[in-house]
Amino acid sequence: MTTLTVETSALVGRHLRHLGRVPMRLLGVTVMPVAYVVIFGYLFGSVIEVPDGGYREFLMAGIFAQMMLTNLQHTALGVVDDLGNGIDDRFRSLPIAGLAVPLARTVADLTRVVIACVAMAVVGYAMGWRTHTGPAQVLAGFGLLLLLGFAASWIGVLLGLRLRSAETVSAVAFLVIMPMTFLSNAFIPLRGLPDWLRTACEWNPLSAVVAACRELFGNPGTTGDALPMRHPVAASLLLTVALLLISATLAAHTYRAAARGR
Amino acid sequence: MDLTIEAEGLRKSYGTHTALAGVDLAVPAGTVLGLLGPNGAGKTTMVRILSTLLTPDGGSARVCGYDVVRKPREVRRRVGLTGQYAAVDELLTGRENLVLIGVLHHLGRRAARTRADELLERFQLTDAAERAARTYSGGMRRRLDLAASLVADPPVLVLDEPTTGLDVTNRRTLWAMVREQVAKGTTVLLTTQYLEEADHLAGRILVLDGGKVIAEGTSDELKRKVGDEHLQIRVREAAQRAAAVAALTAVTTHRPVLDDDGVSLRLPMGDGLTGLAAAAAALAAARVDVESFASCAPTLDDVFLNLTGRSSAEQSEAAA
C-alpha cells in the first residue's frame, strides 16, 4: 500500500467508527432519507400525476439526487468540527500527506450516502418503485449519483475550510441546496412551468443527473428541450466530473494553504 | 553546543495585529525552554510556527537542523505537539486515539497497538483505555493528548500551555510526566502563563510580551534581576511601623521600603542569616508588636511586574 492509502484508510476508519458510535448520525442516513421517500411519495404522489409508471417511480431518482447534494452540508459541518476541537491541528502536525485528511473525510461520507441509498432503495421498492433496465444500467445510475455525492462532499470541504463556523456553513449550505433541489426536476415534472422557469430548471446540473438516472433506471419523466435534457447521461457525467475536479482541486489547495492564514 | 531548536527574527502578523515582532531563540539538545507570557504575548504563534502549523512572515527557524518552512515533513517527523486544547478524538476510545496516531506515523497496526498499550500504561490510562475520550476528565484528556504526541517517540516535544485549566493535583502529575520525558533526553519547548510552571520545568525562560522577548535567563537569573531576597515584615498596628523602621535602620545599611497598606515594610537582605538574626533581635529589643516576619525570595510574578510595570494578571486583561 502506498503511504497515502495507509494514511487515508486509517482516517476513514476513524470516521466510520464515529458513524457507529453516534446513533443520531445513523438516523441521519437511514430514517431521514426514508422519511423523505415516504412523505414525498405519498404527499406529492397524491397530487402530481406522471404518466407511464406514476409519481413514485418518478420521485426516486430525484430523492436520491437530493440526498447526494445534502452530503455537502454534512461534510462541511464535519470539517468545521475538526477545525474547532484541535484535532485538525494534531493531524497537520503529523508527517502525513496533506491530501489524506480531506480525502478520508470525503470517502467516509461517500460510504455514509451508500448506506442511505440502500435504505431508500429498499423503502422505495416496498412503495412500488421498480427499475426497468438491465443491472449494468441501474449500477451506472447509482455510480452517477455517487459521483455527485462525492463532488458535493468536496464542495463541503471547501465551504468548511473557508467558513469555519457551523452556523455560517448551515446557512450557506441551505442557500445552495434549497434552490438546487427545488428549481429542478427532482420532485416535480417541469412541463407545467412557465417557459423561462422551465429553461432555468432544465439547465440546473441537478436536473441533468436526475434525468440521467431516470433514463438509466427506466423510470418516467425524462423529457425536456434544453441540451442537458436531450442528452442527460453525457451531460450529467460531464457536469459532475467537472464539478468534482474543480472542487477537489480547490479544497485540497485550501487545506494546504491554511498554514499561511491563521 | 548542539542546538535542537533555533529561530532568528521570527515575525508574524494577523492583519494589523503583530503577533511576533522578531523573536530569536535557541534550545540546546536535551534542555527545556519555557516561553512565559500573558495571553496575546505571541506564545501560541511561536509554537504553531515551530510545529509547522503556521508559516512565518519573516525570519527563519530550524528544528533538528530542518527548516520549518522548507522541510515541514522532516520537522513533523521529529516534533510531538501538545496544543492548547486537548486534541483527542472524543468519540474514539483512548486506545483507538493512540493506535490511529501510530498508524498515521506508519508504525504498522501491530506495532501501533503495542505502542498504544505502553503509553496508556505509562500515563495511567490503562483502566480507561476502552472508554470514549469524551468520558475522560480534564486531566485524563491532557494525559492522552501528551501520550498522542509521544507515539512516534519524537526527539522534540512542544507543549502549548499544557496545564491550563487543570487542578493542582493533575498539574503536578503532568509535570512529573514531562520531567520523565526530559530525563530520557527529549528537548522541550513549553509555553505557559504560570510562573510556577516555568520555574518548575524550564531550565531557561524567555519572557515574551507583545511579540517581543523582554527578558531571558534561568529562573534564578531572572529573579536576581529583580533583586535579592528580602524581609517582609508586618506590624500589628500602623503606629508601630515607625518604631520598626528606626530599629531596623540601626542594624542595617539598607533602607526599608514601606508598603501602601501602612503596616508592612520590606527590607532588602544582604547579610544572610546574620542580617536576619540582627533584624529580629532589633525588633524584639524595641518591643515592636510584629504580626509576621518572613524572608521572601522574589517570585516570577515580581519579575513580570519589574520588567513590564504590570503584573501578569493585568497583562492578560490588557490582551483580552
Check pLDDT > 90 for residue B269. Answer: no
- Joined together, the cell numbers standing for residue B170 give 493533575
Which residues in chain B touch residue A90, judged by CB atoms under 8 angstroms apart? Answer: 81, 83, 87-88, 101, 148
- Joined together, the cell numbers standing for residue A89 give 491541528
Q: Are residue B41 and residue B26 in the same domain, yes or no?
A: yes
- Joined together, the cell numbers standing for residue A34 give 426514508
Residue of A nearest to B19 (CA): A262
pLDDT at B228: 66
* Residues B180, B102 contacting (CB under 8 angstroms): no
CA distance A86 to chain B (A): 5
CA B277 to chain centre: 35
- Sign (positive or negative) of CA dihedral B119, B125, B126, B128: negative
Number of structural domains, chain A?
Answer: 1
**B128 domain residue, yes or no:** no
**B126 domain residue, yes or no:** no
Decide if B51 touches A, using CB distance below 8 A.
yes
pLDDT tens digits, one per residue of A121-156:
999 999 999 999 999 999 999 999 999 999 999 999
* Residues B23, B213 contacting (CB under 8 angstroms): yes
Segment B60-78 shows an average pLDDT of 96
pLDDT at A142: 98
**B96 domain residue, yes or no:** no
* Residues B155, B64 contacting (CB under 8 angstroms): yes
* Contact assignment for B77 to A95 by CB distance below 8 Å: yes
* Residues B59, B9 contacting (CB under 8 angstroms): yes
* Contact assignment for A86 to B86 by CB distance below 8 Å: yes
* Closest Cβ opposite residue B91 in set A13, A17, A90: A17
* Residues B299, B194 contacting (CB under 8 angstroms): no
Residue B290 is part of a domain; what is its CATH number? Answer: 3.30.70.1710
Amino acid sitting at position A113: V
* Residues B315, B304 contacting (CB under 8 angstroms): yes
Q: Are residue B182 and residue B150 in the same domain, yes or no?
A: yes
- From CA A237, how far away is CA A234, in angstroms rounded? 5
* Contact assignment for B91 to A22 by CB distance below 8 Å: yes
Q: Are residue B171 and residue B251 in the same domain, yes or no?
A: no
Number of Cβ within 10 Å of residue A165's Cβ equals 12
Q: Would you give per-residue pLDDT tens digits along chain A (262 residues)?
A: 689 999 999 999 999 999 889 878 778 778 888 898 999 988 888 888 888 888 999 999 999 999 999 999 999 999 999 999 889 999 999 999 989 999 999 999 999 999 999 999 999 999 999 999 999 999 999 999 999 999 999 999 999 999 999 999 999 999 999 999 999 999 999 988 999 999 999 999 999 999 999 999 999 987 788 999 999 999 999 999 999 999 999 999 999 887 665 4
Check pLDDT > 70 for residue B315. Answer: no
At how many degrees (to 10) do helices A205-217 and A195-203 cross? 80
pLDDT at A33: 85
Give the DSSP H/E element, type plus range, for residue A67: helix A55-84
Phi-psi bin for B102: left (phi > 0), alpha (psi -120 to 50), beta?
A: alpha
CA distance B100 to chain A (A): 6
Residue A66 main-chain phi, psi, to 5 deg = -60, -45
Residue of B nearest to A21 (CA): B91
* Residues A72, A177 contacting (CB under 8 angstroms): yes
**B302 domain residue, yes or no:** no
Segment B79-105 shows an average pLDDT of 93
**B311 domain residue, yes or no:** no
Q: Are residue B62 and residue B15 in the same domain, yes or no?
A: yes
Number of Cβ within 10 Å of residue B266's Cβ equals 16
* Contact assignment for A93 to B79 by CB distance below 8 Å: yes
* Contact assignment for A91 to B86 by CB distance below 8 Å: no
Q: Which of B189, B224, B259 lies at the terminal end of a domain, its last residue?
A: B224
Q: DSSP letter for B292, please.
A: E
- Give the pairing type, strands B32-36 and B204-209: parallel
Sheet holding B32-36, edge to edge: B79-82, B156-160, B187-192, B32-36, B204-209, B212-217
Which residues in chain B touch residue A85, judged by CB atoms under 8 angstroms apart? Answer: 85, 87, 90
Q: Are residue B176 and residue B260 in the same domain, yes or no?
A: no
pLDDT at B222: 83
Domain that holds residue B260: 228-296
Domain that holds residue A98: 3-260
- Joined together, the cell numbers standing for residue A132 give 426497468
> Residue B308's pLDDT band (boundaries 50, 70, 90)?
confident
- Joined together, the cell numbers standing for residue B11 give 515575525
Residue B241 or B97, more confident: B97
Residue A185: Cβ-neighbour burial (10 angstroms; 0-12, 13-18, 19+)? buried
* Contact assignment for B104 to A94 by CB distance below 8 Å: yes
Whole-number percent of chain A with pLDDT over 90: 79
**B301 domain residue, yes or no:** no
pLDDT at A80: 96
Give the highest mean pLDDT range of A26-30, B46-50, B164-168: B46-50
DSSP strand E in chain B: where? 3-14, 17-28, 32-36, 58-63, 66-67, 79-82, 156-160, 187-192, 204-209, 212-217, 230-235, 257-258, 264-268, 290-296
Task: Establish, for the pair of chains A and B, how many residue pairs have beta carbons separated by less than 8 Å.
Answer: 69
Segment B144-162 shows an average pLDDT of 95
Interface ipTM > 0.85: yes
Q: Are residue B144 and residue B220 in the same domain, yes or no?
A: yes
Q: Are residue B144 and residue B288 in the same domain, yes or no?
A: no
Candidates B50, B79, B104, partner chain A, best to mutate (most A CBs within 10 A)? B104
Which residues in chain B touch residue A14, judged by CB atoms under 8 angstroms apart? Answer: 89, 92, 96, 100
Decide if B233 touches A, using CB distance below 8 A.
no
Q: Are residue B170 and residue B275 in the same domain, yes or no?
A: no
Check pLDDT > 70 for residue B314. Answer: no
* Contact assignment for B85 to A22 by CB distance below 8 Å: no
Amino acid sitting at position A43: L
**B292 domain residue, yes or no:** yes
Number of structural domains, chain B?
Answer: 2
- From CA A250, how far away is CA A236, in angstroms rounded? 21
pLDDT at B312: 60
Q: Are residue B75 and residue B167 in the same domain, yes or no?
A: yes
CA distance A114 to chain B (A): 22
pLDDT tens digits, one per residue of B99-137:
999 999 999 999 999 999 999 999 999 999 999 999 999
Q: Are residue B249 and residue B261 in the same domain, yes or no?
A: yes
Residue A259 main-chain phi, psi, to 5 deg = -65, -25
- From CA A68, how far away is CA B306, in angstroms rounded? 62
**B319 domain residue, yes or no:** no
Q: Are residue B39 and residue B166 in the same domain, yes or no?
A: yes
Check pLDDT > 70 for residue B227. Answer: no
pLDDT at A223: 79
* Closest Cβ opposite residue A86 in set B14, B85, B91: B85
Residue B173 is part of a domain; what is its CATH number? Answer: 3.40.50.300
Q: Are residue B193 and residue B287 in the same domain, yes or no?
A: no
Candidates A9, A87, A88, A101, partner chain B, best to mutate (most B CBs within 10 A)? A87
pLDDT at B229: 74
